[in-house]
Structures are given as C-alpha cells and as structure tokens.
Structure 1
C-alpha cells in the first residue's frame, strides 16, 4: 500500500522508497504533484516576503517598491488561497488611494519617496488635485479594472465565510464607484467603451500597439522636465522600454498634470486617446462580477446591467476587425483601429463578449501557436509573425503571468478546456524551470536553455497566478 497524505491541491508520497518502487509513468505524475507542492510553498513565501507593514504588497521590491493597482488585485486572489484576512487587507489598502470621483490610481504611495524609483510621489503632485485623497499620495493614471472579478473570486473561494461576505458587501460600492468613473469621465460619446490616455494605463506599457501612435507625438525642448530612469539600471536594459518611449510617457504624464488628471479635459487635447481591448474587457468582466455578487448579496444591479449591455455590444461591434479575425484597440484621435494581433484581444473571451463563431477563431489562433513546429509556449503577448515581435522585450512578445491567467479563464468559459490547460501548463512549466519572474521567453528552444526568466524576480503576481492555478488543478 502506498502511504500518501493530502495537501489541499493533491496527494503526495510520504516515503521516498515508496516513490521509487512506483511505475515510471505514475512516478512522473507524482513528481508533478511534488513540484506543485514546492511551487505552492514558494509562491506563498514570495507574497509574504513582498508584503510591507502587513497590509500591502509590492510587485517586486527591487523594481517596483510601492503598491500597484491591478497587481494588488491578483495578489489578493493569491492570498485568498491561504490567508483570506490578508487578501482583504490588500484590497482595502489599495482603495485607500481611491479619488473622490472614483478613479483608482495605478500606484498608491503608502511609503515615503524612495531613492531609485521614477516617477515617485513628488512627481505626480496628486495632493494639488481636489479629488485626490489627502492622507496618501498617488499617481494620476489608472490601470485595468480587475477588482470586480477578483472580489468575486475571493467570495467563490470562501462562500461560507462571514468575514468575506461582510467585506464584499462593504467593498462593493467602492468598485461600483470606480466603474461609474469610467462611464462618466472616460466615455465622452457614451458608447460604453472607456478610453485611456497613457500607455501605462493599458497595463502593457511599451506594447507594439502604441508604437505608431507615439511616433506622431512631437516633443519640443521644454515640453518635458529632466528626469532620471532607474528601471533600466535594475534590470537588463535590452528588456526594458527605450528612452524614447519614456520621453513619451513623461510627456503624457505632464499633459495629465496640466489638466489635473481631468478625463474630460484630457480628451480634448491628448494625442493618445485609445479604447483599449484589455482595459474594456476587464471593465466588462468586472461588471459581470458585480452583477453576480449583487444577486448573491441582495444588491440592486440595474445600473451595472445597463452599462454592460451597452459595453458588450459596443466592444463586439466596434473593436472586431475582420481582416485580423480578432479584436483591436480603437484610436479615437485618428478614428481608426490599431490593426495588430496582440494578447489583450483574447481577454474578450473571459468577458464573454464574442459569439461562439468568433470565440472559435480566437481559440484556433492560440492553438495554432502551440502547434507550430518552431515551438512556442502559449501565449506570447504579441504576434510572433510580425517584424516588431521581440520575445525578450517587455510587452513586445514575452509570456506574462496575469495574461495567461486571463486567457485561461476565457478559454474555459467557452468550453475550450484542452487549449486552456495548455496555456496553464506552459506557464507552470516556465515558472518551474525558470523561477518566479516578471515575464518569460515564449520560444521553447530558447527558454529551455535559460536559467531564469526576464524582468523582476520574486514577482508577486507570478506567485499569485501559480497559487490559483495549482489550487484548481
């Protein structure tokens, strides 16, 4: 008889002697479980190690020493698997930075200005903005609104926990206020699609999606202040955005400051005004979550249902591009699609936007990448057939943890379970081989020769995604 013990997400062998007397195929299966146990433990330790003051978690202590918006959403999901009270504190500390108008900044600066990070709290000047909080400094832009479906995930993991139910009921209005901000301040034509005015707000800073658009932005002497980058001193510069990219980022931040981050005023002037696929898919999916949570907790969701009915239709009709057989962001200033294949489009699956026919096209594209003879793990963040594709450089092509989680959830939603499992197993395999890094090379022939991933190490949302994937294996 084999002596085994339960460990939450599977069974592991308690005796090494027993293990080596098992058939080879079963040994491989057990080894996978043993690896999952190890990864689960490492991921938990990373989240705990990246936690400051026992209330908020930094993405990576070296590269990103503050609290980030959508990072903390995934972090809360990760903590919910082993410390739900800590998951609740993560969400609460993030929303301490919410503005009076509902905007949730992409960085909350709980700690003082730290040497070695730009742009820090003094740059953004949030306290000069009437709507910004007085007790904590923040940035002036936002990020993809994942918080609705993260709250839903925490509730799903703890359906009978009274602390979680009470938290969800008290927290619901804050997420609702955030969504209302997007429809009131970021949808000037009342289409049901919110715009972003900075690449960082997309969550995909230097994606090739933005390359042609940012090249059209002229920067004259005096348009931007002098500044010093630190990110390319702490990570391989070849993997980071270029100096030209950063000049554009600073220019757009300066525009935001000039208008005190008022979305309605920015919309009249900003050369970068985009209805992004990922951003709006996350808003729609989080609307769905608010509707589901409201139904469970007895909260009126009529307003959210009206938003989502319009948003889903607008996304599916306006952002679909027949020639690409996928969705693409829309450039509002130039009235055109940004016609590139990029991972944000595929998160529409998680939001339940495409018809079965369109969903099948999205799934078949992902499957085709996995089946290529040259060997790709799925899913690269950008089209590997495009000349701009760079599998090492930030958002130009690498695999990103949170994006694989979103694509996995979307594929499962439409019943494409085999492809979903490929997305999950490819990611777990990379972390197992290369560590808890920020992002990874999608080329099997290259990644299998490396000894680590790219970007920051001991990365929080990488750990969070591993925890959720393993717990649901």
Structure 2
C-alpha cells in the first residue's frame, strides 16, 4: 500500500489528523465536526478514542469514559449526549424528551432515546491492548458498564438473535436503502413543524431527503410519546428492522467483552451464551437472493435486497463465511473505490447521498480488519489502500464518492482522522508490523 502513497507527505497527513482531533475536542469528548454535529455521538466517540490511542492513551480512555457518563440505568448508551446547549442543531434534547424516559433513571446528561452500533467494547479493547499497563484499572472500571450495555441490547433488541433497530439513525446508516420498505410503512401524519439544520451546513444533495426526515421525526415523536419504553415501542412501532451493522458490531463487541472478562478474572459464561445466540441470529440475515447478509423487516419478514458495506461486516463479527466472498469480489470489481455503502449497480445507488452509495472510512476499518482476520488478505489490502488514497487525495471528509472520490458531507471529520491514525496511514501500518 505504501507504493500508492509514494508522492504523499505522510507526516503532514498524520499531523493534520492529530490537529483535527484537537480541533474537535470539547474537553473530555469530541464532536464529529463543528457545526453539523455539535454533540457527542456514540460510535463516533468510540472511534475518536481509537484515534487518540495513537497519540495520547490517557485521552483515549477519557473519551470512552465520557461516553458512558450518559449511560441510562437500564444499560442503554444513547446515540447522542447533549453536553452543552447548541440551538443550531435539530432535533435537540427538547424534541427527544427523554427526561422521564422509562429506564433512564437519574442520568445527569441530556440525551437522545435510541442507541447506535455498539463498537465501544471492541475499540476500548484495542485501546487497552495498545498499552495494557496504563489501561488495566480503567478497563476494570469500564467493564461493568460495557456488560450492562450489552445486557440491555440482548434484552431489548435481540428477540430474533439478530439485533434490531427502532429508528434508522440507530444503525448509523440513516438513509440506507435497507430501510426503504420499513420507512414506507411509516405515515408521517402529525409531524410537528421543524426546520432542518443539516442542509445549512452541507449540500442538500448529499443528505437524506425531506421525505426521509419527516419519517425520522415521526419516529422520534412516537418514541417520546411512549416515554422510550422499549416494550411499547417493540409492540406498536411500524419500524423494526434486523440490521447487519448492529448485529455484527454487537457480535464482535461481545466476543471482545468475553476476552476482557478473561483478562479481568470475571465470569464470562453469560457473555459466551450471548455469542452463541448472536451467531444464530446472524444466520437469519443471510439472503441467498443476493449472496450476502442483508437487513430484514421484522414487520413483513422481507429482506431489503440491499448489498451494502454492512453486508461485509460478517468477518469483523468473527464469522468465517466463504459464502460472502463472491459478492464481495464482484462488488470490488465494479467499484473504483471500496467499499460503497450501496451497490453501484443497484437502482437506488447515489454516489453522493449519504448512505446510498458513498464510502465511509469507519465502515472500511471494520470490514477491512475483519477481512484481514479471516485471511482475505487481497481484499483487505484493497479496502485499506482505497481508504488511504481517498483521504490522501481528498482530505478528512465525512465520506467520499465511490466513483470519483469526491469528498462529501462534513469536513475535518473526527472519525476519518481517527481511522487514518489508527489504520489507514502508512505510519500505522509500520507500527503494527513492528508490534
């Protein structure tokens, strides 16, 4: 991969990535990028911790610890923590209305009412392994909180073994075609008037449509009206989708949680039972029609028929499934840059519209590392090299066109900088080989 970057000033890119982490640091937590995302996001923050681990291990742990300062009494870790007021963001804490939510308890941090892909355990485990001596006490303090988070996931979201989402935002892949059928079942009647803020920061053609947003806000109001009661939402909501991203990140994080338990001398029996159940659930997401893993609408039983970057998180989850290799190889062959968030040959592909086509560095990190662990060295090298080339040639954007590399979404993006420092940079590769 280093041959691809022979004309690139790697040291300057490393320095810029470190500068972005500092730029977006709000004292104990980072924002994804200024303006567009002014709060602490769940999986963004875990990736920020991974990036900080390359330069400041203490700051890396603080990032994750601050994320868990917003954990609810029932174990849920929200997808947004509203540490400071910012009237420029919608929907803010007043719209979410979680003050008296079921299961929230006395948490002092205002938050949303949903979660996000639980990568925290996996990335905290990597932070620990980077410096076990410095992280031992902090891992021990964090472990019961991670355990409670996973216990909540298994109780509230894993009724089929696969992990479900109750809102597209929860998957982190907001407007992916995976949810189109389920979203069509949401009639946004009664949505209160609102003004979007995201399109004031980013070209609207790179963001979800108004039709999508109306349904997003309807689902927020639906959850708020039920005081974020998981049982009521599960019983009554028209939107409940088993998601590859949530399922595979949960499975991997659960495996890593078991590894933590062993290091800490804790009983891992319950965790291993979760692993077995999640493995069974993952099989329910195998769609032979596309030769890959797929989202499933639990209200209809239908697969989405969507070949996406999430389809290839199976190896990150620890599954050794050769069935998915042909679909991966075919997707790589028809994608100038890997991995697109939706198949470029699909009728719903849009190379610049958020999760309907663009490449995301964090998804490449998860998928590429999983491929490498599964022995898919050629494919892993391709994903890593493309990620490095996109960043080196186009900057630390939120996401990129898989067709021509056009940077899109927010700029000076925290998790893109983190992925560079931890994985994509030739400096990171040299450090890993040395270790």
Of 183, 198, 202, the residue aligned with 2:167 is 198
> 1:24 corresponds to which residue?
none
Aligned residues of 1:315 and 1:353 also touching (Cα < 8 A): no
> 2:112 corresponds to which residue?
139
> 1:442 corresponds to which residue?
402
CA–CA separation in structure 1 for the residues paired with 2:223 and 2:79 = 14
Cα drift, residue 216 of structure 1: 2.3
Of 391, 414, 419, the residue aligned with 1:431 is 391
CA–CA separation in structure 1 for the residues paired with 2:356 and 2:172 = 13
Is 2:142 aligned against 1:164?
Answer: no
> 1:32 corresponds to which residue?
6
> 1:467 corresponds to which residue?
421
Cα drift, residue 196 of structure 1: 1.0
> 2:285 corresponds to which residue?
319
Cα drift, residue 135 of structure 1: 1.5
Residue by residue over 1:188-237, the C-alpha shift from the partner in whole angstroms, topping out at 9 and shown as x without a partner, is x4x322221100001100001112221222232xx211111010111000
> 2:176 corresponds to which residue?
207
CA–CA separation in structure 2 for the residues paired with 1:30 and 1:455 = 25
Is 2:373 aligned against 1:413?
Answer: yes
SS of structure 2 residue aligned to 1:108: strand
TM-score scaled by structure 2? Answer: 0.94
CA–CA separation in structure 2 for the residues paired with 1:120 and 1:154 = 31
Aligned residues of 1:363 and 1:411 also touching (Cα < 8 A): no
Is 2:35 aligned against 1:62?
Answer: yes
1:6-17 → structure 2 map (5 Å cutoff): none
Is 2:242 aligned against 1:242?
Answer: no
Aligned residues of 2:179 and 2:241 also touching (Cα < 8 A): no
> 1:173 corresponds to which residue?
144
CA–CA separation in structure 1 for the residues paired with 2:385 and 2:5 = 15
CA–CA separation in structure 2 for the residues paired with 1:371 and 1:185 = 39
SS of structure 2 residue aligned to 1:324: coil
CA–CA separation in structure 2 for the residues paired with 1:31 and 1:260 = 52
Is 2:200 aligned against 1:226?
Answer: no
Cα drift, residue 103 of structure 1: 0.6
Is 2:45 aligned against 1:51?
Answer: no
> 1:269 corresponds to which residue?
236
> 2:99 corresponds to which residue?
127
CA–CA separation in structure 2 for the residues paired with 1:363 and 1:42 = 35
Is 2:326 aligned against 1:364?
Answer: yes
CA–CA separation in structure 2 for the residues paired with 1:335 and 1:365 = 23
Cα drift, residue 353 of structure 1: 2.1
| Higher RCO (C-alpha under 8 Å, 6+ residues apart) | 2
* Number of matched pairs: 426
Aligned residues of 2:181 and 2:297 also touching (Cα < 8 A): no
Residue by residue over 1:234-256, the C-alpha shift from the partner in whole angstroms, topping out at 9 and shown as x without a partner, is 10001110111000001111111
CA–CA separation in structure 1 for the residues paired with 2:163 and 2:350 = 29
SS of structure 1 residue aligned to 2:81: strand
> 1:332 corresponds to which residue?
298
Aligned residues of 2:177 and 2:304 also touching (Cα < 8 A): no
CA–CA separation in structure 2 for the residues paired with 1:327 and 1:134 = 37
Aligned residues of 2:71 and 2:107 also touching (Cα < 8 A): no
Of 249, 252, 261, the residue aligned with 1:282 is 249
SS of structure 1 residue aligned to 2:43: helix
Cα drift, residue 115 of structure 1: 2.2
Of 255, 259, 263, the residue aligned with 1:292 is 259
Cα drift, residue 260 of structure 1: 1.1
- Which region of structure 1 is more displaced relative to structure 2, 421-430 or 127-136? 127-136
Cα drift, residue 130 of structure 1: 4.9
Cα drift, residue 45 of structure 1: 0.9
Residue by residue over 1:350-387, the C-alpha shift from the partner in whole angstroms, topping out at 9 and shown as x without a partner, is 111243x32xxx33333333334xx6111111011111
Is 2:157 aligned against 1:186?
Answer: yes
Change (3 A) 1:139 1:31: closer
Change (3 A) 1:60 1:301: same
CA–CA separation in structure 1 for the residues paired with 2:25 and 2:381 = 30
Change (3 A) 1:256 1:130: closer
Of 47, 66, 80, the residue aligned with 1:74 is 47
SS of structure 2 residue aligned to 1:395: coil
> 1:455 corresponds to which residue?
409
CA–CA separation in structure 2 for the residues paired with 1:203 and 1:334 = 22
Unaligned runs of 5+ in 2: 431-435
Aligned residues of 1:56 and 1:94 also touching (Cα < 8 A): yes
Residue by residue over 1:47-69, the C-alpha shift from the partner in whole angstroms, topping out at 9 and shown as x without a partner, is 011001x2010000120000000
> 1:108 corresponds to which residue?
81
CA–CA separation in structure 2 for the residues paired with 1:368 and 1:301 = 39
Unaligned runs of 5+ in 1: 1-27
